[in-house]
Amino acid sequence: MKDVVLLDSGGSNYASLIAAFERLGARCTPSRDPERIRAATHLVLPGVGSAGAAMRAIGEQNLDKLIADSTQPLLGICLGMQVLFEHSEESDVACLGLIPGRVTRLPEAPGIRVPHMGWNSIRSIGSNPLLEGLDGCDFYFVHSYAAPCGEYTRAVTEHGLPFSAAVGAGRIHGVQFHPERSGPQGARLLANFLELAA
């Protein structure tokens, strides 16, 4: 059985993610215990709130070192994806630095509201097992900050301007959208993630 640990940095509502993974036949529990984290087959870094608060919680729980030293596939979701980068303009905070780049605020413009809330289709770039079968699918986004498109972008979407909908670097993966709120296509993405091996 796949054994997923939600890295518990505090403040997130984990119920929908736990339910989504359990529907796929995986065990899924939140934890900040180093032994439990090291024993997992897959790690998920969820995120709700601000980058500054998330990084404080990650640091206080010593999750930053555990994340850096882990060897399992890791999926960052929404804010959890953003803190994979080197820096976030939100709170002007240094992040985990697992993916090069800086996260910036989405620009407002006539007809472009921030925060961005709603469904957007994604366009895959290259071949990526996490996004297998999902090119052109719609996913649910809720965010005010985003990562620019670059070398580590694995899928793109647009809200006023193009930004990274998904990123990847080796075992590290991130999605700006919420797969647990995105219906069958979200379930497919989580199933794809479970198929990734260390």
- % of the chain exceeding 90 in pLDDT: 91
Q: Give the helix ranges, DSSP H, for 7-48.
A: 15-23, 34-39
| Annotated domain spans of the chain | 3-195
Annotated catalytic residue within 78, 95, 137, 149: 78
> 108-126 burial by CB neighbour count: b if 16+ within 10 A, else e?
eeeeeebebeeebebebbe
Chain centroid to CA 74: how far? Answer: 9
pLDDT at position 73, please?
98
Angle at 170 between CA 40 and CA 20, to 5 degrees: 45
pLDDT above 80: residue 10? no
pLDDT above 90: residue 11? no
Active site residue 78: yes
Active site residue 116: no
Annotated catalytic residue within 143, 159, 173, 178: 178
Half-sphere exposure of 190 (CA within 13 A, CB side): 32
pLDDT above 90: residue 116? yes
pLDDT at position 198, please?
73
| Model confidence, pTM | 0.97
Active site residue 28: no
Q: What is the pLDDT of residues 44-97, one digit of tens each?
A: 999 878 999 999 999 999 999 999 999 999 999 999 999 999 999 999 999 999
Q: Are 48 and 13 in contact (CB under 8 A)?
A: yes
pLDDT at position 12, please?
64
Domain made up of 3-195: CATH architecture: 3-Layer(aba) Sandwich (3.40)
